[in-house]
Structure 1
Amino acid sequence: MGLDRITPALPVRTERLVLRTVAPSDSAAIGAYCADPEVTRYLPFPALDEAGLAQRMERLVAGTAPVQVGDVLALAVEHEGVLVGDLMLRFEAAHGEGAPPSIAELGWVFAPSYGGRGLATEAARALVDLAFTTYPLHRLMARLDPRNTASARLCERLGMTHEAHTREDYPDRDGSWSDTSVYGLLRREWEAARSGG
C-alpha cells in the first residue's frame, strides 16, 4: 500500500524559516542539540553519541519522499542560515486495499537556544500545511510524553485536539513506564481554519 512517489515541493519558505531536506553536512548542528539530555528527555531516543547520531542522520537524510506506511519525510529547519531544528512526518496507517496512507504522525526537535521565539510553531504549522496539501491524508497526529508541556502547547497552537492520555504504555530509559498524550488534527478542521471558518 502506498502512493506513487511524490516528492514534496521543497524548500518551503515561511516568514522567518526555510524547511528543506536534511543533508549529511547537517550532522554537527543536529548532533549539538540531540546530544543534550534536556532536549531528548521526552523523546523516544536518548542523548545521542557519535554512533547514535550516525544512525539518526542516515534516517533523516533518507527521508525525502515517503510512499507507504512507516516511511518518513524529514526536514531541516533553518533560521537566518542556521539549522535550528528538524521535523518529521511519518505515515502511520492506510485504510482499504491498496489505499494510500491516510494518517501521519508529526514530530519535531529544536535547539533550546532558539526557544521562545515561535520558530517551532512556525515550522510545525508549515509542516501541517505541506502534509495536507501534498498527501491525501485524512488525519495528522502527535504522540508525546504528557510531561513535555512545551510540545503539548505547540500541538494546541496548531489547532490539534487532545484526544487521549494512555497510562504507562511507554517504557522509560530508567526501567519505569511513562504515559502518552495523543493529539489529532483532521483535514476538515485544517481546511476550516485556513478558510477562517
Structure 2
Amino acid sequence: MSAGAVAWQRMAGPLELRTPTRDDLERALEWRNRPEVTRWLLRTTVDPEAYVAAWLAAIDDPDQHAVVAVVDGMIVGTGSLDVSDGMGQFDGDEWRRSEGLLGYLIDPAHAGKGYATDIARALLDLAFTELRLHRVTAACFADNRASWRVMEKLGMRREQHGVRDSWHAELGWVDGFTYAILADEWAGGVQELRQP
C-alpha cells in the first residue's frame, strides 16, 4: 500500500468493508453482470479480467478507495470513493484533492437490507473525517429510486435533474440526478436528518 492510501477493514453496520482480493472480485462478478444490476449502470456488462485488474490497481492509488462489503463470508456489495481536485484547483493548491465521487453496488439477492446506505455512509465518513474532502457527489438515473433514496437518507441534496442527459443502454436518453454534500453539512449532522 502506498503512502497516503487508507488502511481498510472496518465495520459499516453489519458489513465488513475491506480491500478487495482477486477472489472477492471474482465472487462479485457472479452478480455484477446480471441484467437486474446492469440495468442501472452507465457501464453495463464488464469484461471480467479488465474489471478485476482495474479494482486491484485501485488498491495502491491514494485517490481511489475501493472496497467490497462482506456479510457472513459473502460479497454482498462494492463501494468506491474516487478523489480529485475541485473545479479551478491545480497541483500545489492548499485544498488539493478536495472532491470525491461516491459509488456503490449491491448484489440483488441482498437488496433492501440497507447495505447500500451502510457502504455509502462509511465512505462519506472516510471522505470527510479522514481524507478531509470539501465535497462529495454521486449520480444515478432518475428512475433508479433505490439509489437516490440512499443519497437522500444520508443528507445529500439533489443538485441537478438533467433532462435526458444520461444514455441508458435499453431506454436511450433518460433523465439523471446528481447529488452532493459538503463537509460542514456532514459534520453538522445533516446525514441524520432523513430517516429511512
Q: TM-score, normalised by structure 1?
A: 0.86
**Correspondence for 1:53:** 48
Aligned 8 A contact 1:16 1:80 in 2: no
After superposition, the Cα gap between the structure-2 partners of 1:143 and 1:196, relative to the gap in structure 1 and judged at 3 Å, is closer
**Correspondence for 1:62:** 57
**Correspondence for 2:127:** 131
Partner amino acid, structure 2, of 1:21: T
CA-CA distance at 1:115 after TM superposition: 1.1
CA deviations 1:122-151 (Å, max 9, x no partner) are: 121111111212213100110111111000
CA deviations 1:39-89 (Å, max 9, x no partner) are: 1112121134xxx1211111111212444xxx4221011112211010011
3-state SS of the aligned residue for 2:188? helix
Distance 1:62 1:97 in 2: 23
Partner amino acid, structure 2, of 1:141: T
Structure 1, unmatched stretches of 5+, are none
CA deviations 1:8-28 (Å, max 9, x no partner) are: 131111331111111111133
**Backbone CA RMSD of aligned residues:** 2.2
Following superposition of structure 1 onto structure 2, how do residues 1-197 of structure 1 map, counting pairs within 5 Å?
Answer: 5-48=3-46, 52-67=47-62, 71-94=63-86, 95-99=89-93, 100-174=96-170, 176-193=172-189
Distance 2:58 2:114 in 1: 25
Structure 2, unmatched stretches of 5+, are none
Distance 1:185 1:17 in 2: 23
After superposition, the Cα gap between the structure-2 partners of 1:53 and 1:103, relative to the gap in structure 1 and judged at 3 Å, is same
Aligned 8 A contact 2:156 2:191 in 1: no
Aligned 8 A contact 1:66 1:91 in 2: no
Partner amino acid, structure 2, of 1:55: A
Q: TM-score, normalised by structure 2?
A: 0.87
